[in-house]
Chains A and B, each alone.
Chain A
Amino acid sequence: MIRSLLSGDMPRSLPLALILGGILLCLALAPFLFPGVRTVDTAARICIFIVLVASYDLLLGYGGIVSFAHTMFFGIGAYGVALTSTHMGRGFDAIAIGALAGATLAAALALLIGLFSLRVRAIFFAMITLAVASAVAVLVSQLSGLTGGEDGLTFKTPRTLGPAFKFGKEVFDGTLFGVKLNGKLLAYYFVFTGALVLFLALLRVVNSPFGRVLQAIRENDFRAESIGYRVVYYRVAATCLSAAIAALAGSLYAVWLRYVGPDTVLSMELMVDILLMVVIGGMGTLYGAMIGATLFVLAQNYLQNLMGAASGLVEGLPLLPELLSADRWLLWLGVLFILSVYFFPTGVVGRLRGDR
């Protein structure tokens, strides 16, 4: 049962299995284990980023293609839901149509970019996606009539997903284990279920023959072509698939935040975050995405305070307080990123599995 759910891709290491199980359990029961607005918000962000990073890993880790447009696809999904919810009114139909339209548009755009850049050399793709993604980000902030510009869009999700909606009054007296049964709880489980389904679907994809061919192309594209696989088709298909899933993750994010804006869903910093999550967790395995996203989001939320404290400790020394201040945490992540690409390219998961 578990084997078929995981598509035969078992953790293959006891510590890894325990960690993954722990993460899954914590996320599944987050509202009950860690009640509190901020912790539940963190858990929801972890769920969404796991899917986003896993879809990026399909490209980077399995396909060996570097893309800088992943936030663009994420943003397309988020804006899709935001726009339909704004114009069609709150409702699940608006969310479904927005998510579907976003995913379709993302896949179509990925197809276009992929077709004219991947046919020459895979590294063109990295540069072209960088250029296109930044153009789109600027365009979104310029077309303020449609997208709300820099301010973004605030919109309403269905009433059942809002904090004002209460249920279970008769049976549980409105609370369960001391947690209020309201729409926010439902929204969390909406996000959690969506993320879980998408993650399992991705797991299915990478462990299918298609995923195997992608890995072959990553290892030696010339040889894969000689065996008879059309390398370009496989790479373009992987790009489209990962773009569509990123867009769906974006839709989940929009539903959770009830807000979209260029800074939250389209910024270059988000792209850098995704890269860090993939590399730290481990490229070429979706469990790496799970661990990377969890570690990163937790660090982002809690490590910054720690750095601020450390900066306070060394106050008075030259330069050190500035190097350690909470705003400079990207500096240390950058260093960590370079070191992990050099010294353990297989990431946390590779280490735990005992791969080289």
Chain B
Amino acid sequence: MSAAPEHAPTMAQATLAERIGPFMPVLLVPLLALAGFVAIMNPASWLTLTVSGLAMGMMIFLMASGLTLVFGLMDVINFGHGAFVSVGAFVGITVLMGLGHLTEAPSLMLNLGAVLLAVIGAMLATGAMGWAFEKIIVAPVYGHHLKQILVTMGGLIVVEQLIIVLWGPEEIYFNRPEALKGAITFAGAAIEKYRLVAVVVGLAVFAAMRWVLRRTKIGLIVRAGVENGEMVEALGYRLKLVFVGVFIAGSALAGLGGVMWALYQEVITAHMGNHAMILIFIVVIIGGLGSVEGCFIGALLVGLMQNYIAFIEPKAALISNIALMVTILMWRPMGMIPVVKAK
């Protein structure tokens, strides 16, 4: 009987590429910002563009996060997600216009209070709508992608048309609250105040989502459910309930995103959600379906890319996002941070 072979583990140092690999998606954002700086060569314009790109990215993230979580958790692809964006915008702006005495007052506190009320109204409306949407439209077609896409698309059409019935077919123009108008000058760059607010709100929501997902019991169940739903159910958790909760939360977030987006554009139309869906899809695909972090990074990339390219070559702005998506899918076919593996 021969002796067992000598135990000789090799401790090769991981190469630089291997060590950087996992952090690569996170590094892409500063890299893109740097590339933008090199391409623009003007610190003031670069700063303006970067802030507006980040603001745009944050708003897209708000709208997209619900979609990616819903997909990750229950394998449901909701093409009607844009409906929540539109409804959120219409409800929010209606509330805001009703609070004219608050929004026209030159006080930051009163203005923010009005926006807060509008956001709460929009989130309540879209949350309730999300619950109904899940019950009526999505629930009967679980586990059937083709039907999900068709039915949720149908839901989007119906909601869009209902918005037109309730609010009329014309675009609605409005003004931002007094304190959010105008820009501040910083290091020679004009930065719109509202964009700063959008960045802060986006960061706060992202931090809150991360905290809920990483530090709380419910977040643990959601993450486990994304990873392996059957096992979580076998442990006795009613994943269906969790899912409905996530769907409602995701819809409410889309509503919040809708209000923010509407305030950014200062005009709302029934089709705005449908238009936003295009960017949302690009973001969730390059982020990796099911990943909140990936979605956040993807949203920032898309926002920055769109603003830089629009400055350098306006006509290429649309194509740039498609190009970004193609490049990232060539590099990582499942998106930057793939989460859902086996489904």
Residues of A within 8 A of B (CB): 60, 64, 66, 116-117, 119-120, 122-124, 126-128, 130-132, 134-135, 138-139, 142-143, 268, 272, 275, 279, 319, 322-323, 327-328, 330-331, 333-335, 337-338, 341-342, 345
Contacts and interface: CB of A to CB of B under 8 A. Distances in A.
A138 B165 contact: no
Contact of B318 (A126, A138, A323, A328): A138
Contacts of A139: 315, 318-319
Interface residues of B, number: 40
Given A64-B146, A328-B164, 11 more contacts: A66-B146, A66-B150, A120-B329, A120-B333, A123-B149, A131-B325, A135-B321, A327-B164, A330-B161, A338-B154, A342-B151
A2 to B, nearest CB: 32
Contacts of B77: 123, 126
B226 to A, nearest CB: 16
Given A66-B146, A130-B278, A341-B151, A319 B165 contact: yes
Nearest to A142: B315
A116 B328 CA distance: 11
B140 A337 contact: no
18 contacts: A64-B146, A116-B330, A120-B329, A123-B149, A124-B285, A131-B282, A131-B325, A134-B278, A135-B319, A135-B321, A272-B153, A275-B150, A331-B158, A334-B157, A335-B154, A341-B147, A341-B151, A345-B147
A117 B329 contact: yes
B334 interface: yes
Contact of B165 (A60, A116, A328): A328
Interface in B220-239: none
A77 to B, nearest CB: 21
Interface string B1-35: 00000000000000000000000000000000000
Contacts of B333: 116, 119-120
Nearest to A120: B333
A138 B315 CA distance: 10
Interface in B113-152: 137, 140-141, 145-147, 149-151
B83 to A, nearest CB: 11
B165 A322 contact: yes
A331 B319 CA distance: 32
B151 A66 contact: no
Contacts of A323: 165
B307 interface: no
Contacts of B285: 124, 127-128
B150 A337 contact: yes
A33 B277 CA distance: 46
Contact of A328 (B161, B322, B329): B161
A117 B329 CA distance: 8
Enumerate the 5 nearest inter-chain pairs by beta-carbon distance, A residue then B residue, closest first. Answer: A331-B161, A334-B157, A334-B158, A127-B281, A338-B154
A254 to B, nearest CB: 25
A142 B161 CA distance: 27
Interface in B272-324: 274-275, 277-278, 281-282, 284-285, 315, 318-319, 321-322
Contacts of A279: 150
Interface string B153-169: 11101100110110001
A126 B161 contact: no
B312 to A, nearest CB: 16
A120 B334 contact: yes
A116 B150 contact: no
A120 B321 CA distance: 20
Contacts of B334: 120
Given A123-B77, A338-B137, A135 B161 contact: no
A131 B162 contact: no
A142 B313 CA distance: 13
A61 B69 CA distance: 29
A330 B163 CA distance: 12
Contacts of B140: 342
B326 interface: yes
Contact of A330 (B145, B149, B153, B157): B157
Nearest to B136: A338
Interface string B248-262: 000000000000000
A230 to B, nearest CB: 17
A138 B158 CA distance: 24
Contact of B149 (A120, A126, A331): A126
Nearest to A345: B147
A134 B326 CA distance: 16
B158 A335 contact: yes
B165 A341 contact: no
B306 to A, nearest CB: 12
A117 B282 CA distance: 12
Contacts of B326: 116
